[in-house]
Amino acid sequence: MRRNWWIPFRNPFRGNPFRGGLFRRMVASYALVTVLSFLLLGTLVSRMIERYYIRSTTQDLLASGSQAATAFQSFLEDRIDASSLQQKLSLEEHSSGILFLVIPVGADLPAKLELWAHPSGNEFTSSELQAIGSGHQVAKFGQIPGHAGETISVAVPILTGGQAVGAVSIHAPFLALRQTIQAVIRIIWISAALALALAVVLTYWNSWRIAGPLIRLAGLAREVARGNFGVRLPETSADEVGRLAASFNHMAAELERQEAMRGDFLASVAHELRSPLTSIRGFSRAILDGTAGPEQQAHYLEIIRSEADRLARLTGDLLDLAQFDAGQMHLARAAMDLNELARRVMASLTPQVEAARLDLELATDIFPIMVLADRDRVEQILANLLNNAVRYSPPGGRIDIRIRRDDRVARVDVSDKGVGIPPEDLFRIWERFYRVDKSRSRALGGTGLGLALVKELVEAHGGTVGVESALGKGTTFWFTLPLV
């Protein structure tokens, strides 16, 4: 197997996230969000500035207008003369850059105010003039004739004896404010561009971190598909990407392990097939070329037959296991009596039991013990366990089968007084081809598949299997099956 440990480290910048759709989608969404937020921000901020500016300018203008109106009032009531009035007005005009003009409301202007009269009438509507005439201050914002651009206009009535005899009108152009707002919007757009650039950089970095490993993962997945299970991703982060890398590595390790197991399994199969085939070839050749005498010929044929039997059993077991592996083992379950089945299996074993001078006993209820199971398969389970017990018992020994109801299951125990199994082998005997004593088992015709198949079969029925053994004293195998 090729092991390319170096693959993940070939080039850390391999897997350009700019190429994939992920990066483009992420940049597009970040850009959209950035532009939209700044657009919203710009609109809101310029509106707010505009409103604030209009309100505060209007208040300032009204305050100046009120002062001027009071000055005009004092002048009209002869408390100050024209020069000190002009002085007051000039002072204010100079500091705030506005011009105080007097407009008539209703009647003509008093002659004393002619000097400050608006040269071209006024910019207020008749209803506004009416409001001013009844002593109210008026302020408005917008385009007015004779002025370029938007203007804030206020008018403050000049009162004498509680009567409005005219009004101070002030106009402040909005141009400066427009320029301020434009400057603010420019700043906002520059920030937006900077934020966008930052978003692109961050997105690139982020998507490199996400898409980079994904692209590498895709490459390694192709390696795995080609059968190179040695590849691994570096597990550098603890986030989702890191967890994905860990899962991938776990999968690759598992595949590698299974591949190794499959290799071992195939080697074992080939090995098990070879020794019976070798004997069959050898003995048949001896018969054919006449080296074996008539006596020996019968003996050799007997060996050939038993080796052929063994091959048949081996291939049968392998086929069954393959069916389990492919998930295609179908059980023809039906209600059946365990006691009756046990007696039949015992009867079929009589020749071997008698040959080994064994004592085979069955202890059970007199009533049938009905289980829901595939008859042939249960027979296979029991025959395997009994065969083992016979095989691994010394001549003259005793084998006990015990069948009983146990809660919701039927339990079958097969005990022998044979060689026993060492504790360190106990948990491995269920593995395929595992034999405690290889040469002894093979000499006895075993391949080490029996218990593996027993376990699969019992578990397919929803039962459990187990073993207890004491070395040199004996072994008990047990299994359960669901009662009807």
Among 15, 104, 213, 446, binds ligand ATP (CB under 6 A): 446
Give, as one character, the DSSP assignment of residue 217.
H
The one of ligand ATP, Mg ion, none whose footprint includes residue 8, by CB under 5 to 8 A per kind, is none
DSSP code per residue over 178-207: HHHHHHHHHHHHHHHHHHHHHHHHHHHHHH
Q: Residue for token digits 């500091």? A: 95
**450 sits near ligand ATP (criterion: CB under 6 A):** yes
CB 448, min distance to ligand ATP, A? 4
Residue type for position 55: R
Do residues 272 and 314 lie in contact, with contact meaning Cβ atoms separated by under 8 Å?
yes
- What backbone phi and psi angles, to 5 degrees, belong to 358? -95, 160
In the region spanning residues 406 to 445, those forming contacts with ligand ATP, defined by CB under 6 A, are 416, 418-421, 429, 434-437, 441
CB 476, min distance to ligand ATP, A? 9
Q: Residue for token digits 């707010």? A: 48
Ranked by CB distance to ligand ATP, the top (closest) residue is 450
**388 sits near Mg ion (criterion: CB under 5 A):** yes
Binding segment (CB under 6 A) for ligand ATP, from list 20-28, 81-89, 151-159, 386-394? 386-394
Helices in 134-169 by DSSP H: which ranges? none
In the region spanning residues 458 to 477, those forming contacts with ligand ATP, defined by CB under 6 A, are 475
In the region spanning residues 125 to 164, those forming contacts with ligand ATP, defined by CB under 6 A, are none
**388 sits near ligand ATP (criterion: CB under 6 A):** yes
CA distance 389 to 453: 16
Give the bridge partners for 142, in sequence order: 151
Ranked by CB distance to Mg ion, the top (closest) residue is 450
Binding footprint of ligand ATP, residue count (CB under 6 A): 23
Give, as one character, the DSSP assignment of residue 110.
P
CB 454, min distance to Mg ion, A? 8
User: Of 172 and 342, which has the nearer Cβ to ligand ATP?
Assistant: 342
Binding segment (CB under 6 A) for ligand ATP, from list 213-221, 284-292, 364-372, 388-396? 388-396
In the region spanning residues 448 to 467, those forming contacts with Mg ion, defined by CB under 5 A, are 450
CB 443, min distance to ligand ATP, A? 10
**447 sits near ligand ATP (criterion: CB under 6 A):** yes
**345 sits near ligand ATP (criterion: CB under 6 A):** no
Binding segment (CB under 5 A) for Mg ion, from list 115-123, 126-134, 294-302, 383-391? 383-391
Residue type for position 359: D
The one of Mg ion, ligand ATP, none whose footprint includes residue 448, by CB under 5 to 8 A per kind, is ligand ATP
CA distance 61 to 453: 102
Helices (H) and strands (E) in the chain, counts: 12, 11
Cβ contacts of 100 within 8 Å, gap of 6 or more: 64, 65, 68, 89, 92, 93, 116, 168, 169, 170
User: Of 155 and 389, which has the nearer Cβ to ligand ATP?
Assistant: 389
CB 384, min distance to Mg ion, A? 5
Among 280, 349, 412, 451, binds ligand ATP (CB under 6 A): 451
Question: What's the chain's length in residues?
Answer: 484
Nearest to 432 by CA among 454, 448, 456: 448
The one of Mg ion, ligand ATP, none whose footprint includes residue 324, by CB under 5 to 8 A per kind, is none
CB 388, min distance to ligand ATP, A? 3
Rounded to a whole number of angstroms, the distance between the first and last alpha carbons of the chain is: 50
Do residues 159 and 73 lie in contact, with contact meaning Cβ atoms separated by under 8 Å?
yes
Do residues 402 and 479 lie in contact, with contact meaning Cβ atoms separated by under 8 Å?
no
User: Of 123 and 317, which has the nearer Cβ to ligand ATP?
Assistant: 317
CA distance 191 to 188: 5
CB 414, min distance to ligand ATP, A? 8
User: Of 58 and 475, which has the nearer Cβ to ligand ATP?
Assistant: 475
CB 388, min distance to Mg ion, A? 4
Kindly report each contact of residues 317-326 with a partner whose C-beta sits within 8 Å and lies 24 or more positions away, as own/partner: 317/447, 317/449, 317/450, 317/453, 318/269, 318/449, 320/453, 320/456, 321/432, 321/449, 321/452, 321/453, 321/456, 324/456, 324/460
User: Of 445 and 482, which has the nearer Cβ to ligand ATP?
Assistant: 445
In the region spanning residues 3 to 32, those forming contacts with Mg ion, defined by CB under 5 A, are none
User: Of 31 and 467, which has the nearer Cβ to ligand ATP?
Assistant: 467
Tokens of 1: 């197997």
User: Of 137 and 475, which has the nearer Cβ to ligand ATP?
Assistant: 475
**390 sits near ligand ATP (criterion: CB under 6 A):** no
State CA 336 to chain mean position distance.
48
User: Of 60 and 379, which has the nearer Cβ to ligand ATP?
Assistant: 379
Q: Which residues bind ligand ATP (CB under 6 A)?
A: 384, 388-389, 392, 416, 418-421, 429, 434-437, 441, 446-452, 475
Residues interacting with Mg ion, by CB under 5 A?
388, 450
